Amino acid sequence: KDLRPPVISLALSPGLGVFMAILVRMTIAGKSFIGGNMEIALAANLTASGVLGQDGAGTPRFSSRNCHIALVSAKTNLPSSMLPKVMSKFLDTTLQKVLPGLLCPAVDAVLNLVNAKFTTLTSEIPLGTAGTLQYALLNPPVTSETFIELDLKALLHQKEGKEVDLPTDQPSLASLPPKRDAATQLILSADFLSAELSVLQASFNLNIRITWWVLGLPPLVTTMLGALIPEISRVLPPSQPVVTEMQEAKAPVVTITPEKSFVQLFSTAEFWVSPSDSAPEFLFILDV
């Protein structure tokens, strides 16, 4: 009873994972060996390592190692005259044997909660209805004195299930921006962003029909097109409703530099006359 909140210190262990030092304070109550109730108020230091690796599915995973318990103090409610030194030594020895089995499983339980969070890393993420995105570890996790690095492989699938090819060349660590203190950084390559937009390519297709005043714009008719593009005014029919179909022509391209980033979307705009009493009539195509 009376289990107090633990005092937890964490530190990164280079090449290993996380080192944990936990001060545990609790009171154990039970029957005394001389009759009546006895309470033992104790403090113990628990140290353990959480080794960071990966499982067969390419998911980061912590496992505990080297769990040790050091008894800091143990006090009972029995008078000192009733607890001779030999019994005190027996009590300390017993606690040293009992506490690891009592406290070390708690370390495993906490690490399992963290591992459960990691499983979401490799779950499929829907990209709307266009496809899915999934991550897996490309290499085992790397732990340094100041950060943990996860090198991820992205798996992009179109809605038909076809995988999108991604460049396998990884940027060198020297080319990455400097790590900021006390921050988590997610670094995405331009190639990955281009591929992700290519999965969403069909989502950029539009069918635009403006037949009423919207956002201050008059209805879209052929005479308006003639005023905007004089070169085609001679071949346009008289004032008729116009439909514009925007179709992605090729995969988007993302370019990233230290100063600026660009996203280029390549489209065609097809213009059609859409009279109410006959089939649509094709006019022309613009590359956008």
pLDDT of residue 15: 92
Decide the pairing of beta strands 261-273 and 281-287: antiparallel
Q: What residue ranges of the chain are covered by domains with CATH 3.15.10.10?
A: 3-120
Each residue's pLDDT tens digit in the chain (288 positions)? 788 898 999 999 999 999 999 999 999 888 876 677 888 888 999 999 999 999 888 899 999 999 999 988 888 877 666 566 666 677 778 888 888 898 899 999 999 999 999 988 888 999 888 899 998 888 899 998 888 988 888 889 988 888 888 776 666 656 666 777 778 888 888 888 888 888 888 888 888 776 666 667 777 888 888 888 888 888 888 888 888 899 988 888 999 887 888 999 999 999 888 877 788 889 889 898
Domain 3-120 falls in which CATH fold? Bactericidal permeability-increasing protein; domain 1 (3.15.10)
The pTM score is 0.67
pLDDT digit string (tens) for 37-46? 888 888 999 9
Query: For residue 281, which amino acid is it?
Result: E
Q: Which long-range contacts (CB under 8 A, 24 or more apart) does 9-17 make?
A: 12/143, 12/144, 12/145, 12/146, 12/147, 12/148, 13/49, 13/143, 14/143, 14/144, 14/145, 15/143, 16/49, 16/51, 16/52, 16/143, 17/49, 17/50, 17/51, 17/52, 17/53, 17/62, 17/141, 17/143
Q: How far apart are the first and last CA of the chain?
A: 72
pLDDT of residue 172: 63
